[in-house]
Chain A
Amino acid sequence: MSNESRPARQWLLTLPSLTWLAVFFVIPAILVIITAFRPADLQGGVGPGWTLATLREVQDPAYLPILWRTLWLSGATTLICLALALPVVFQMARVGQRMRQVLLLLIVIPFLSNFLIRIFAWKSLLHPEGPLTKLLIVLHLIPENAVLLNHVGTVLLVLVYTQLPFAILPLYAAAEKFDFGLLDAARDLGAGPWRAFSKVFIPGVRRGLISASVMVFVCCLGQYVIPQMVGGTSDEMLGSKIAQRVFSDRNLPHASALAGGLMLAVLVPMLIVVLWQQFGRKEAE
């Protein structure tokens, strides 16, 4: 095999995954963006011709607080999930093989029940007449008339609950490959347990942290069921608005414009992260 033909062969080898990406990701994304430039028709479909009207509509300043809420809820969920997942995977990677499988199973089991049912479970758990609320009142941990439901904090809580496994799994994959002998070395060199964890373990699972962050953050951005079911009327996320435009208003172009905007809001920062990583790798070489 000569050197000249190597790039050609590499292209050939990546062709299947490129095709997969194109069919399932790039083409639908382009279709969504194209739809944003079409007029809406009265039947809930897309009318003929092209228009920039939708683009002007979505610049409504009323969307700004919703976009902001979507971003900070997703960001906070990501941070909380990472903070909860790190100690979990740290322990999981250190226990025996059998215990590990049990723990992994326990983490995956909730997925076996329907997503909506799990949200409903939270709804009844946090209901003013629900067992958790009553227990907390009896223990005097919350005031008598406290309402746990329909609050932005409730949305955050349930977001964290649903996204936690998506943080644990990629982090666990990274922690499993981590050489725990490095922690001994850090302790030997004068680092206490906490500094060994933060200076050696966390950098050691850096790739897992990045993929867990992206996974959780992106999944949160599109959420609309959770704010709708456990949040209050003022706790909408951008996903709720998109769903509303599709299902109630039957205005596909408007929904597409919102979705496209959200996509850009995510892709641009991610592109920066990827470039930063590339830069870091180059510097290391």
Chain B
Amino acid sequence: MYRPILCMDDFLVIDHVSKTFGAQRAVDDVSLTVAQGEAFSLLGPSGCGKTTLLRMIAGFERPDSGRILVGGQDITALPPELRPVNTVFQNYALFPHLSVWDNIAFGLRMSRRPREEIRSGVDRMLELVRLSEHARKRPTQLSGGQRQRVAIARALVNRPQVLLLDEPLAALDLKLRQHMLMELNAIHEQVGTTFIYVTHDQGEAMSLSDRIAVMNAGKVEQVDSPEHLYEAPRTSFVASFIGDANFFTGVAVELQHEGYVRVLVDGLGSPLVLSNGAVSANQTLRLMVRPEKISLTLTRPPSGERVNAFRGVVEDMAYFGSHTRYRIRAGEHSILAQMQRSRFSGGDIDPARGAEVWMSFHPDEGRVVRLEGAA
């Protein structure tokens, strides 16, 4: 039964979907909603269930329980050929016996569209992906980036309501990946279709999507914009999967207004940090600070209410051109810090191995994240 779209924000609905393979729960009670026209990513390490979820949206796997809706229509029981969804496969899966033109025309021919509509549709798509002059070639005669674009055109020509892209950049080399990233964003903007990416690469997900669902062990850990995921991860898994992070375990000793909490950490004093959720006194907490949020100085930074400062010894360092990374030991902690410049802001000597330094960060840059396994 097709129902009119009631709410554009609930365009694609994953409703309590689970899937088990043998003894393994590949997807464990996942619920998500994706808005119409949104670029959305399923991000996670291999085996987290993101590909299984994608295959269930495409129709190649049937969920054990739960429902999948597109535009208000329940598609859970539909075979892949009847879904308003098309897929760009990881290895592109272009038909080797057909030309580029015939590959793109395949879907329209399957739905028995009139000849004229097929011709104009395919030609329009070839223009969109800038492959018009390669229309007569076979897929094997194209470069990786060109094949990728044929795969996108072959899917988009059917005007799917949702376009699924399975690791779209994984098969490309680094340089081409940067380029295709921009191109995918441009295509998404141009066609306005809902894009669902599946990727294990956090950089890819961050630059391609409006929102990201970070998945781990069959469950969704957090759904948020790239900025929020990076700045305010809710779990230590999200914090460590997206970018680098330093983690500390401590006990809440003082609750302040507006979500600030002072946490006693062995060897670091009691830094003041922000918490996303409710925290009670004496609760054991996990803190997270991004390496680039920590500033290094040779002298103690001017003390104040809003600065967390502690001392350490430089253990190791690596120069990356645009920035330098330091591994600093403070008590039993090994802390990663990253500086934009190779020189200290507090002086103009490079910190050497074994040098004693001060590390400091603003309370807004420290976050309380959920302990692993805690609800």
**Residues of A in contact with B (beta carbons under 8 Å apart):** 179, 181-182, 184-192, 195, 199-200, 203-204, 206, 284
Please state if A187 and B81 are interface contacts (CB–CB under 8 Å).
Answer: yes
From B58, B91, B94, B110, A191 is in contact (CB under 8 Å) with: B110
| With A188-B86, A195-B110 as contacts: A181 and B97 at CB distance below 8 Å | no
Please state if A185 and B93 are interface contacts (CB–CB under 8 Å).
Answer: yes
Q: Which residue of A lies closest to B138 (CB)?
A: A284
Bound state CA distance, A186 and B102, in angstroms? 13
A-contact 0/1 string along B265-280, CB 8 Å cutoff: 0000000000000000
Q: Report the minimal beta-carbon distance from A180 to chain B, rounded to whole angstroms.
A: 10
Please state if B97 and A179 are interface contacts (CB–CB under 8 Å).
Answer: no
B154 at the A interface (CB under 8 A): yes
Please state if B89 and A204 are interface contacts (CB–CB under 8 Å).
Answer: no
Interface residues of B in 57-110 (CB under 8 A from A): 58-60, 79-81, 85-87, 89, 91, 93-97, 106-107, 110
| With A184-B80, A200-B95, A204-B97 as contacts: A189 and B158 at CB distance below 8 Å | yes
| With A181-B91, A195-B110, A284-B138 as contacts: A187 and B97 at CB distance below 8 Å | no
From B79, B91, B154, A189 is in contact (CB under 8 Å) with: B154
Q: Report the minimal beta-carbon distance from B194 to chain A, rounded to whole angstroms.
A: 16
From B59, B79, B87, B97, A185 is in contact (CB under 8 Å) with: B87
Bound state CA distance, A65 and B311, in angstroms? 103
| With A179-B93, A182-B95, A184-B80 as contacts: A190 and B158 at CB distance below 8 Å | yes
Q: Which chain A residues border B303 with CB–CB below 8 Å?
A: none
- Among A184, A189, A191, A204, the one with the most B-chain Cβ atoms within 10 Å of its Cβ is A189
Q: Which residue of B lies closest to A187 (CB)?
A: B80
Please state if B86 and A189 are interface contacts (CB–CB under 8 Å).
Answer: yes
Chain B: number of interface residues, binned into ranges: 20 to 34
Please state if A203 and B97 are interface contacts (CB–CB under 8 Å).
Answer: yes
Q: Which residue of B lies closest to A206 (CB)?
A: B97
A-contact 0/1 string along B182-194, CB 8 Å cutoff: 0000000000000
Bound state CA distance, A195 and B97, in angstroms? 15
Bound state CA distance, A108 and B80, in angstroms? 37
Interface residues of B in 130-145 (CB under 8 A from A): 138
Bound state CA distance, A189 and B89, in angstroms? 12
From B80, B96, B106, A204 is in contact (CB under 8 Å) with: B96
Please state if B110 and A182 are interface contacts (CB–CB under 8 Å).
Answer: no
From A185, A190, A203, A284, B89 is in contact (CB under 8 Å) with: A185
B24 at the A interface (CB under 8 A): no
Interface of A is mostly: helix
Bound state CA distance, A284 and B139, in angstroms? 11
Q: Which chain B residues border A189 with CB–CB below 8 Å?
A: 81, 86, 106-107, 110, 154-155, 158
Bound state CA distance, A199 and B98, in angstroms? 10
Q: Which chain B residues border A191 with CB–CB below 8 Å?
A: 81, 106, 110
A-B pairs with beta carbons under 8 Å apart, 20 shown: A179-B91, A179-B93, A182-B93, A182-B95, A184-B87, A185-B87, A185-B89, A186-B106, A187-B59, A187-B80, A188-B155, A189-B158, A190-B81, A190-B107, A190-B111, A190-B158, A191-B81, A192-B81, A204-B97, A284-B138
| With A184-B80, A185-B89, A284-B138 as contacts: A190 and B95 at CB distance below 8 Å | no
Please state if A184 and B89 are interface contacts (CB–CB under 8 Å).
Answer: yes
Q: Which residue of A lies closest to B104 (CB)?
A: A189
Q: Which chain A residues border B87 with CB–CB below 8 Å?
A: 184-185, 188
Q: Which chain B residues border A284 with CB–CB below 8 Å?
A: 138
Please state if B58 and A188 are interface contacts (CB–CB under 8 Å).
Answer: yes
- Among A179, A185, A187, the one with the most B-chain Cβ atoms within 10 Å of its Cβ is A185
Q: Which chain B residues border A187 with CB–CB below 8 Å?
A: 59-60, 79-81
Bound state CA distance, A200 and B103, in angstroms? 11
Bound state CA distance, A199 and B105, in angstroms? 13
Bound state CA distance, A204 and B87, in angstroms? 21
With A184-B93, A187-B81 already in contact, 10 other A-B pairs whose C-beta atoms are closer than 8 Å:
A179-B93, A185-B87, A185-B94, A186-B106, A187-B79, A188-B80, A188-B155, A191-B106, A192-B81, A206-B97
Bound state CA distance, A203 and B94, in angstroms? 13
Q: Report the minimal beta-carbon distance from B125 to chain A, rounded to whole angstroms.
A: 13
Bound state CA distance, A150 and B215, in angstroms? 69
Bound state CA distance, A188 and B163, in angstroms? 11
Bound state CA distance, A189 and B110, in angstroms? 7
Bound state CA distance, A182 and B107, in angstroms? 13
Bound state CA distance, A181 and B158, in angstroms? 19
Q: Which chain B residues border A200 with CB–CB below 8 Å?
A: 95
Q: Report the minimal beta-carbon distance from A16 to chain B, rounded to whole angstroms.
A: 31
Q: Report the minimal beta-carbon distance from A77 to chain B, rounded to whole angstroms.
A: 27
Please state if B93 and A190 are interface contacts (CB–CB under 8 Å).
Answer: no
Q: Report the minimal beta-carbon distance from A259 to chain B, rounded to whole angstroms.
A: 37
Closest 6 A/B residue pairs (Cβ): A190-B110, A189-B107, A185-B93, A187-B80, A203-B97, A191-B110
Q: Report the minimal beta-carbon distance from A94 to chain B, rounded to whole angstroms.
A: 14
Q: Which residue of A lies closest to B97 (CB)?
A: A203
Bound state CA distance, A181 and B96, in angstroms? 12
Q: Which chain A residues border B91 with CB–CB below 8 Å?
A: 179, 181
A-contact 0/1 string along B48-59, CB 8 Å cutoff: 000000000011
Q: Report the minimal beta-carbon distance from B83 to chain A, rounded to whole angstroms.
A: 8
Q: Report the minimal beta-carbon distance from A202 to chain B, rounded to whole angstroms.
A: 10
Q: Which residue of B lies closest to A200 (CB)?
A: B95
Bound state CA distance, A182 and B80, in angstroms? 13
A-contact 0/1 string along B248-264, CB 8 Å cutoff: 00000000000000000
